[in-house]
Amino acid sequence: MTDHPLLGKKFERVKRVIEREFGVPVPGDIVPAEQWTNTAIKKLPPPGPLNFAEFFGRTAPVMLDIGCGNARSTLASAVWRHDVDHFSTDVLPVVIRYATRRANQRGLKNVRFAVIGGRELLADYVAPHSIAEIHVYHPQPFYDARLVHKRLITPEFIALVHRSLAPGGLFVLQTDNPGYWKYMQQIVPLFFEFTELPGKWPDSPRGRTRREIIALRQGLPVFRGTGTPRVDIAADDVLKIAESLPPPTFDADRKLKELDKLEHGSDSGDRPQRRGKR
């Protein structure tokens, strides 16, 4: 116990447990185990519009974080925006397990994680015009020409995002791959009022994601943009436009694969640390 210089009374110093990644704090304090939550959805129901109110026990705006990886971007939003429910997905069970553990340890109640692809999520589980925000950070560019068909950002996917967002909803895109960004610049504005952001995120200047942190440390450019659905396009026209556009067959530039090794490697500083807080 110690005296507060302004209040003039005793108060207890609280120990914060902070996790760091490449020297950058991960949003949210790790709370005592008795306060941990369960954020995993182990099995999705059969295809059909999800009832997000059942998952979260309330009705609130929903943000989808597609391809959430280790959940840094999800945590950053969920920790500061308690009034928004966050439904985050990835195709890799191992990263969802890691993401779930992080959210559980922070006692978050406005987060759920599931293993599913972004295209399948929007096509099979999301009702039209029901989502407040959709975020996609660093979708895998797939360097091997035999795998380009797996790229997430396609005209079909962008059309699904347009269909899923509520009027005025927010679409967030980010990549460090110049070829991918050039493709996004060509197709996204056909469906969205799209604005490219010239600088870093004001809320996370050191990076919203692990990948962004690494790219910035390497002095590489990161491309960011946000958009809202265009209202001058009818639903049928959205589909027609998507069908008329080319698929993402750009050259992803194999030199950028070095970032993958750094992203999936370990950092000796990535461990929880205690810090006093008044």
pLDDT given at position 53 = 97
One pLDDT digit (tens) per residue for the chain, 278 residues: 555 444 455 545 556 788 898 889 999 999 999 999 999 999 999 999 999 999 999 999 999 999 999 999 999 999 999 999 999 999 999 999 999 999 999 999 999 999 999 999 999 999 999 999 999 999 999 998 899 999 999 999 999 999 999 999 999 999 999 999 999 999 999 999 999 999 999 999 999 999 999 999 989 999 999 999 999 999 999 999 999 999 999 998 877 777 777 676 654 344 454 443 33
d(CA 69, CA 74): 9
pLDDT given at position 278 = 30
Residues in CB range of 62: below 8 A, 6 or more apart: 52, 84, 85, 86, 87, 130, 131, 132, 133
Question: How do 223-229 and 85-90 pair as beta strands?
Answer: unpaired
Q: Tokens 């070095």 appear where?
A: 258
pLDDT given at position 256 = 73
pLDDT given at position 172 = 98
**Amino acid letter, residue 227:** G
pLDDT given at position 4 = 44
pLDDT given at position 273 = 46
pTM of the model: 0.89
Question: How do 165-175 and 2-3 pair as beta strands?
Answer: unpaired
Count the Cβ atoms, other than its own, within 10 Å of residue 178.
Answer: 17
pLDDT given at position 274 = 43
Q: Please give the domain boundaries of the chain with CATH numbers for all domains.
A: 37-266 (3.40.50.150)
Alpha-helical runs (H) found in the chain:
52-56, 72-80, 93-105, 118-125, 155-164, 178-187, 210-217, 235-244, 257-264
Q: Does an H or E element contain 64, and which? A: strand 62-66
